[in-house]
């Protein structure tokens, strides 16, 4: 059976969308996401910038995405008019986290746009970037973006686009942007970052106009109930020291923006369950007949009424975070979660007949030992007697703009050994799934790196994009051991053995 052409696939996806904003205007922008459509259309930040551009006088945008993983050789085209990215004067990119930098390179090169900014000239689109990555460390984007909006972009993006479009030359555009607050222009600023932008409260909440069954969050209307976080978890870029605390969106405002036709609603934010009216919001949406999902649930906020509302809203699994393997580690990272909160969560799962309790855990935190892992094993074995438990594990990666900035990566072998210790101890009791220790190391190098590490991604992508390609690209960099060694074990770069 012949494969579908990209054009037909786009037509099918567009026909299934609800809320698409079609528009013609003098300033045309390609709004691109460096991951496939299903991921991009589940990003509230991407949808918020789409809406900001479409609502601005004289501006319009068309969406583009990295081709699906089974269609790597396709040339990206926009969804609204099936135009090439080279047909637009500006390509705006939303980048969520470090590993999407490779997607930026693939998207640009597949569009016949030089990925490296110094290789572009007046014949090529201006490349503007922004997104969640800018809250921690956007410097690895510097080799590829002409300019980057740092922080909350919805109040700035149309002014930035107008400044680019109004400049007589690319050099004039860069000079104009370099003078604007919260805009990082690598050609002018080097690696010195401006301050984070914070939009006016009147622009809150963000909400996504488009619902589609082809997103990872299928047919879900996405809306903020709050922005930021008032907690002080030391590993998190959204902690209070970064954004000034949590900004609450009033309950009536949230409910008034949910369209009557929405059957699934996603409440988005770094600390949704800390909203003082979150249970009332969930209950009101359930009474409308909506399924409800929350992007974050803190175990210390869970109670009978809250979990009952979540069950009525379609929850089958209660998902929350334990973060550190032991009480000592949770204290160290200033996480409020206590054993009693997790025990209560398991009891609520059983009381409301949910399928299971899913917990997220970081391993490889600073000062972590096997004793911490053993404490986690013992606790989770006991917890599984109260309710079925599954465990999702991610290796700790220190991020810029956090108190743990600069902490070393535990080591790939160390992370693997502790994961094996957990898995052995929990076998038959708890389902354990973990993200890759190798790719966590790649994320760490970029999170702690600068433009040199960012430029090494180009070599890795052109060499096939495997872990080994990234390892070799980073090893070729001059500088301290964290750049040049693979960090397979704690304290030194052990010789690379195998690649599993």
pLDDT tens profile 56-109 = 999 999 999 999 977 667 899 999 999 999 999 999 999 999 999 999 999 999
162 shares its domain with 262: no
334 shares its domain with 379: yes
Q: Considering its fold, how many domains does the chain have in total?
A: 2
Is the pTM here over 0.85, yes or no? Answer: yes
Question: Has residue 195 been placed in a domain?
Answer: no
Question: Has residue 45 been placed in a domain?
Answer: yes
Q: Report whether 187 contacts 174 (CB < 8 A).
A: yes
Answer with the one of 437, 472, 492 that is the final residue of a domain: 437
Q: Which residues lie closer than 8 Å to 367 by C-beta, 6 or more apart?
A: 329, 332
128 shares its domain with 206: no
pLDDT at position 241? 65
219: left (phi over 0), alpha (psi -120 to 50) or beta: left
Total residue count of the chain as it appears in this document: 500
281 shares its domain with 421: yes
Question: Has residue 480 been placed in a domain?
Answer: no
Question: Has residue 493 been placed in a domain?
Answer: no
pLDDT at position 3? 46
267 shares its domain with 130: no
pLDDT at position 480? 62
142 shares its domain with 206: no
pLDDT at position 439? 96
pLDDT at position 336? 85
Question: Has residue 452 been placed in a domain?
Answer: no
CA distance 238 to 132: 10
124 shares its domain with 33: yes
Question: Has residue 42 been placed in a domain?
Answer: yes
Q: Are strands 126-130 and 90-94 parallel, antiparallel or unpaired?
A: parallel
184 shares its domain with 205: no
86 shares its domain with 210: no
Answer with the one of 416, 437, 458 that is the final residue of a domain: 437
295 shares its domain with 317: yes
Question: Has residue 489 been placed in a domain?
Answer: no
Range of the domain at 210: 201-437
Q: Which residues lie closer than 8 Å to 401 by C-beta, 6 or more apart?
A: 135, 136, 137, 237, 242
Q: Which residues of the chain have pLDDT under 70?
A: 1-5, 71-72, 240-242, 480-500
Dihedral sign, Cα of residue 320, residue 323, residue 329, residue 331:
negative
CATH number at residue 127: 3.40.50.280
Question: Has residue 251 been placed in a domain?
Answer: yes
175 shares its domain with 211: no
Q: Are strands 183-184 and 317-323 parallel, antiparallel or unpaired?
A: unpaired
User: Radius of gyration (Cα) for the chain, nearest Å?
Assistant: 23
CATH number at residue 383: 3.20.20.70
165 shares its domain with 230: no
Q: Which two tokens mark 135?
A: 């809250």
Answer with the one of 155, 189, 223 that is the final residue of a domain: 189
Q: Which two tokens mark 481?
A: 């051991």
């Amino acid at each position: 059976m012949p494969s579908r052409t990209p054009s037909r696939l786009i037509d099918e996806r567009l026909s299934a969308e609800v809320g698409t904003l079609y528009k013609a205007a003098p300033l045309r922008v390609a709004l691109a996401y460096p991951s496939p459509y299903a991921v991009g259309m589940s990003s509230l930040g991407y949808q918020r910038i789409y809406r900001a551009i479409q609502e601005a006088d004289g501006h319009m945008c068309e969406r583009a995405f990295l081709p699906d993983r089974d269609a790597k050789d396709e040339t990206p085209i926009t969804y609204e008019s099936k135009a090439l990215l080279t047909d637009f004067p500006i390509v705006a990119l939303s980048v969520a986290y470090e590993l999407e930098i490779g997607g930026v390179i693939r998207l640009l090169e597949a569009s016949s746009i030089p990925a490296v900014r110094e290789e572009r000239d007046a014949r090529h689109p201006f490349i503007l970037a922004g997104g969640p990555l800018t809250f921690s460390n956007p410097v690895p984007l510097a080799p590829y973006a002409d300019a980057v909006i740092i922080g909350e972009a919805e109040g700035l993006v149309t002014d930035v686009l107008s400044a680019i479009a109004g400049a007589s030359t690319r050099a004039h555009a860069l000079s104009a942007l370099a003078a604007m607050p919260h805009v990082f222009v690598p050609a002018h600023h080097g690696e010195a970052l401006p301050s984070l932008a914070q939009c006016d409260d009147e622009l809150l909440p963000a909400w996504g106009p488009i619902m589609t069954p082809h997103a990872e969050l299928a047919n879900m209307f996405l809306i903020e109930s709050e922005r930021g976080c008032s907690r002080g978890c030391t590993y998190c870029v959204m902690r209070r020291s970064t954004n000034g605390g949590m900004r609450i969106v009033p309950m009536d405002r949230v409910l008034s923006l949910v369209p009557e036709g929405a059957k699934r609603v996603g409440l988005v934010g770094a600390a949704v369950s800390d909203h003082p009216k979150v249970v009332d919001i969930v209950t009101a949406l359930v009474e409308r007949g909506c399924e409800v999902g929350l992007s974050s649930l803190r175990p210390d906020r869970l109670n009978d009424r809250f979990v009952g509302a979540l069950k009525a809203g379609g929850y089958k699994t209660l998902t929350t975070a334990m973060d550190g393997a032991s009480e000592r580690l949770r204290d160290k990272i200033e996480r409020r979660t206590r054993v009693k909160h997790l025990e209560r969560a398991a009891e609520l799962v059983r009381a409301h007949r949910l399928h299971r309790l899913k917990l997220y855990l970081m391993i490889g935190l600073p000062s972590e030992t096997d004793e911490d892992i053993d404490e986690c094993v013992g606790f989770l074995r006991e917890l599984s007697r109260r309710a079925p438990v599954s465990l999702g594990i991610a290796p700790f990666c220190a991020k810029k703009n956090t108190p743990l900035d600069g902490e070393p990566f535990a080591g790939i072998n160390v992370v693997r050994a502790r994961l094996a210790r957990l898995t052995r101890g929990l076998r038959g009791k708890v389902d354990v799934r973990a993200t890759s220790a190798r790719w966590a190391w790649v994320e760490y190098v970029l999170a702690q790196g600068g433009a040199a590490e960012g430029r090494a991604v180009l070599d890795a992508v052109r060499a096939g994009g495997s872990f080994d390609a990234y390892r070799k690209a980073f090893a070729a960099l001059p500088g301290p051991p964290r750049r040049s060694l693979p960090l397979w074990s704690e304290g030194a770069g052990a010789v690379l053995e195998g690649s599993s």
